[in-house]
Structure 1
Amino acid sequence: MSDTRPSPLRSTGVQVSLGLVAGLTLGLLLSRESAPTTFLSGLLATLDVVGTAWINAVRMTVIPLVVPLLIVGVAGGDDLKSTGAVGAKAFGWMLLLLVACALFSATVSSLWFESLVLDPAATTRLRESARIDVPTADALSVRTFLLSLIPLNPIKAAADGTLLPVVLFTLLYAFALGRVGEAPRAAQLTFFRGMSDTMLVVVRWILALGGIGIFALATVLGQKLGTNVLGAIGFYFMVNIALHLVATAGIYVIIAVTRRVPWRDFARAMVPASVVGMGTRSSLASLPAMVKGATDVLRLPPTATGFVLPLCASVFKLTSAIYWVVGALFIAKLYGIDLSTANLALVAASSVVLNFSTPGIPSGGMLLQVPLYSSIGLPVEGIGILIALDTLPDMFKTLLNVTSDMFVAVMTTPREQLKDSRAEVSSRRV
């Protein structure tokens, strides 16, 4: 009997992983050219267009996928109260992860930074490169954030790509749909189920080209990064990346210990989303891949794939509990400021409390720290340095974010449903 197993090279996860490694390798090699030739410049420009076109295609699917998934996940359930309970449980897991990561980061990174001795010439050059356009206080205020959650025009909010207001409006619509008569409710659910199924087919088509898209993005990224990551910058990169990798590995350990799903299946479901996230540096862009992995591999119920995952991608950024602390310690060292234990604790606590209030402006997560830096005596210009150095660490920050999103979706799914899903998969294999 012949072996009919498909080649591993046909796996989306393998293809995007190979694309990422090959692209970064080629980009680092090209970065050695001090004066790129016309051909090389044209090649990089072409790859930039290819990569950008692919990521635009991925982003194109987010809103049309999230909206029907949320509506079906909420209104399609038998009990709206149970859906609300799942949401509360999801926020509980988010808060628990944030507190654990903040304590871990504050403890480990503070000890690690004690060994950092900086070259005065290098720190001077870094400080001179600090550039930051500080937004108005109103743009970062709680009032502005709260008002932004209620869009004047939900269609415009969707067109602008501001996902959180769209998600909140869709949830309101979905809970209202659960209160209407059976006939109109069933008709709309049929439509939105068809829409979500169709969009998942579109996502599979786009992800099938992921190897090419990620290769193009990674090549351009590697060429821009180069190999000049030594000294103070190298130390900052090392601490930031190492802590994110440890936190990501910790999530896999919890999955293995709790045995809610086989950790191999969890890893297999995460590969495409992880690589897409690292290549694009956007957890939002990796949401379609997360939904695909949760649906096809883990067989999570609609409440998890259509409610919890979009909710997490919209409001949950576990990475802030790490990079806020690391960034504050780095800037304190860079400017020769002694950051007290009380101030470090304030940074860690703020990373948890303000996690769900990131403003919808470029680098909003970092700019949110402007008032915090002012209150603890750190120069606001230091945030400009962190933004400039964020390209490489942001790949690993996104990796942690997408892993934690899938983790919350798994942990909020009742064990009985997980067992039923695994039994279904096993019967199909037999």
Structure 2
Amino acid sequence: MSDVSPRRSPLASQGLQVTLGLIGGLALGMVLSQQATPSAFTGGLLATLEVIGTAWINAVRMTVIPLVVPLLIVGVAGGDDLRATGTVGAKAFGWMLVLLVACALFSSVASSVWFDALVLDPAATTRLRESAKIDVPSSDALSVRTFILSLIPLNPIKAAADGTLLPVVLFTLLYAFALGKVQDAPRGAQLAFFRGMADTMLIVVQWMLALGGIGIFALATVLGQKLGTNVLGAIGFYFVVNIVLHLVATAGIYVAVAFSGRVSVRDFARALVPASVVGMGSRSSLASLPAMVKGATDVLHLPPTATGFVLPLCASVFKLTSAVYWAIGALFIAKLYGIDLSTANLALVAASSVVLNFSTPGIPSGGMLLQVPLYASIGLPVEGIGILIALDTLPDMFKTLLNVTADMYVAVMTGNRSRGDDG
């Protein structure tokens, strides 16, 4: 009797676990939010779940730097032609730019039409405006000078310890290209070490993802309790526009995958399930990077240049969501404060979301705070950024979903499968 049976991908069961954890946690959290004053039991439960969820996210993020560094080194220095790797990088940035321009045009047109239908209650908007709080960083913290200098760390080890991925990626790329120039014997020894390290870290990632159902359930319960079911009025409208346009943009990427013919939509979705749910639960595309690499390797069978070079690069510098939510946020704040946002100013917001996408500062809410000078230049109140930050919890889940999907799409478009199967 044959022992051969269809081998089920471990990502399939993990994807189901984290999806059920997300749904179950949000549902439980919304039920708990109905208590006007949380009981001692509810408070203790939420505190415990917050610790569990945060610990799991920390465990996932713990694997990012030890996984990214060897993958980048092997992906660049392990190739036969360094110029070919440079070409892959150029193609990746080309696809990033295409997606940014397309999403900026789509969002500015769709959101402006949608916001024309919004009529706000003056009393409600007054309360919402009064709740705005924002600690605007110094102009130097958001300057081009600071951003450029931050890319060159005085101590790359400290940069890795601080979790600032982009400087680490740039240093690792420099090291990898230099390694590609040394003699075969020392280069081969280092590549063997880093291949072994990458393979080991992928096993660690698999262990972390195996606990994903518990971690996501804990995070989602706390999130659901904070959000509750009160998504009405101006806030509800903002949530709906933001979430729907992000979902449409995400669906558009799946359509582009179908037309590309490089991988099947089914495989693309299957490879993304764990990374997508981890990303939505943690609201961090960086935290979902290990799961993306795993899906791209195990399901899509993408080559090392895609899994070890393109995906870490995208997670470091590419935030497609900026091209969607910058226009939405500007229109919402304009409505909230009774300001007429001209077509020219909206076009400036859309263009800025593309041009400044790769320069998001490495500070909390950096993508939003980067808009402070922009808001001042087009006549929108800067304190409106504080409202957007306060309302970002729920939309940020769908922003991360779009970012993760876009990262995988760029990897697919810049690298062919290493095996010809469709499994």
Q: Same fold (TM over 0.5)?
A: yes
Alignment partners' CA distance in 2, 1:41 and 1:306: 43
Contact 1:244 1:396 in 2 (8 A): yes
The alpha-carbon deviation at position 40 of structure 1 amounts to 1.1
Contact 1:8 1:14 in 2 (8 A): no
Over residues 98-128 of structure 1, what are the superposed CA-to-partner deviations in whole Å (9 max), with x where a residue is unaligned?
0000000011100100000000011000100
Task: Name the structure 2 match of 1:421.
Answer: 419
Task: Name the structure 2 match of 1:385.
Answer: 387
Task: Name the structure 2 match of 1:67.
Answer: 69
Task: Name the structure 1 match of 2:122.
Answer: 120
The alpha-carbon deviation at position 81 of structure 1 amounts to 0.2
CA separation of 1:7/1:202 partners in 2, compared to 1, >3 Å: closer, same or farther?
closer
Which amino acid in the other structure matches residue 211 of structure 2? L
Alignment partners' CA distance in 2, 1:367 and 1:97: 23
Asked if 1:107 corresponds to 2:112, the answer is no
1:229-240 equivalences in 2 (<5 Å): 229-240=231-242
Of the three residues 257, 261, 266, the one matched with 1:259 is 261
1:346-425 equivalences in 2 (<5 Å): 346-413=348-415, 417-418=416-417, 420-423=418-421
The alpha-carbon deviation at position 3 of structure 1 amounts to 11
Task: Name the structure 1 match of 2:171.
Answer: 169
Over residues 47-81 of structure 1, what are the superposed CA-to-partner deviations in whole Å (9 max), with x where a residue is unaligned?
11110000000000000000000000000000000
Which amino acid in the other structure matches residue 45 of structure 2? L
What number of residue pairs does the alignment pair up?
Answer: 421
SS of the residue aligned with 2:420?
Answer: helix
Alignment partners' CA distance in 2, 1:23 and 1:249: 25
Which amino acid in the other structure matches residue 196 of structure 2? G
Question: Runs of 4 or more off by more than 4 Å in structure 1?
Answer: 1-10
Of the three residues 303, 320, 324, the one matched with 2:326 is 324
Contact 1:106 1:348 in 2 (8 A): yes
Task: Name the structure 1 match of 2:15.
Answer: 13
Alignment partners' CA distance in 2, 1:83 and 1:7: 33
- After the TM superposition, which of the residue ranges 4-13 and 19-28 deviates more from structure 2? 4-13
The alpha-carbon deviation at position 422 of structure 1 amounts to 2.6
- After the TM superposition, which of the residue ranges 253-262 and 121-130 deviates more from structure 2? 253-262
Task: Name the structure 2 match of 1:148.
Answer: 150
SS of the residue aligned with 2:152?
Answer: coil
- After the TM superposition, which of the residue ranges 30-39 and 318-327 deviates more from structure 2? 30-39
Task: Name the structure 2 match of 1:77.
Answer: 79
CA separation of 1:268/1:359 partners in 2, compared to 1, >3 Å: closer, same or farther?
same
The alpha-carbon deviation at position 357 of structure 1 amounts to 0.2
1:185-334 equivalences in 2 (<5 Å): 185-334=187-336
Task: Name the structure 1 match of 2:345.
Answer: 343
Alignment partners' CA distance in 2, 1:151 and 1:366: 24
Which amino acid in the other structure matches residue 419 of structure 2? S
Alignment partners' CA distance in 2, 1:150 and 1:128: 40
The alpha-carbon deviation at position 7 of structure 1 amounts to 8.2
Alignment partners' CA distance in 2, 1:183 and 1:7: 39
SS of the residue aligned with 2:203?
Answer: helix
Over residues 275-301 of structure 1, what are the superposed CA-to-partner deviations in whole Å (9 max), with x where a residue is unaligned?
000000000000000000001100100
Which amino acid in the other structure matches residue 185 of structure 1? R
Alignment partners' CA distance in 1, 2:111 and 2:40: 44
Alignment partners' CA distance in 2, 1:4 and 1:82: 39
Alignment partners' CA distance in 2, 1:37 and 1:113: 40
Alignment partners' CA distance in 2, 1:220 and 1:172: 41
Alignment partners' CA distance in 2, 1:311 and 1:53: 26
Alignment partners' CA distance in 2, 1:4 and 1:52: 38
Alignment partners' CA distance in 1, 2:8 and 2:304: 30
Alignment partners' CA distance in 2, 1:41 and 1:378: 39
Task: Name the structure 2 match of 1:97.
Answer: 99
CA separation of 1:45/1:105 partners in 2, compared to 1, >3 Å: closer, same or farther?
same
Over residues 114-149 of structure 1, what are the superposed CA-to-partner deviations in whole Å (9 max), with x where a residue is unaligned?
000000011000100010011111000000000000
The alpha-carbon deviation at position 34 of structure 1 amounts to 0.9
The alpha-carbon deviation at position 5 of structure 1 amounts to 5.6
Over residues 154-174 of structure 1, what are the superposed CA-to-partner deviations in whole Å (9 max), with x where a residue is unaligned?
000000000000000000000
Identity %: 82
Alignment partners' CA distance in 1, 2:266 and 2:87: 28
SS of the residue aligned with 1:366?
Answer: helix
Alignment partners' CA distance in 1, 2:229 and 2:42: 18
Contact 1:105 1:243 in 2 (8 A): yes
SS of the residue aligned with 1:380?
Answer: coil
Asked if 1:182 corresponds to 2:184, the answer is yes
Aligned-CA RMSD value = 1.4
Task: Name the structure 1 match of 2:49.
Answer: 47
- Which segments of 5 or more consecutive residues in structure 1 lack a partner in the other structure? none
Which amino acid in the other structure matches residue 422 of structure 1? G
Which amino acid in the other structure matches residue 362 of structure 1? P
Alignment partners' CA distance in 1, 2:267 and 2:6: 18
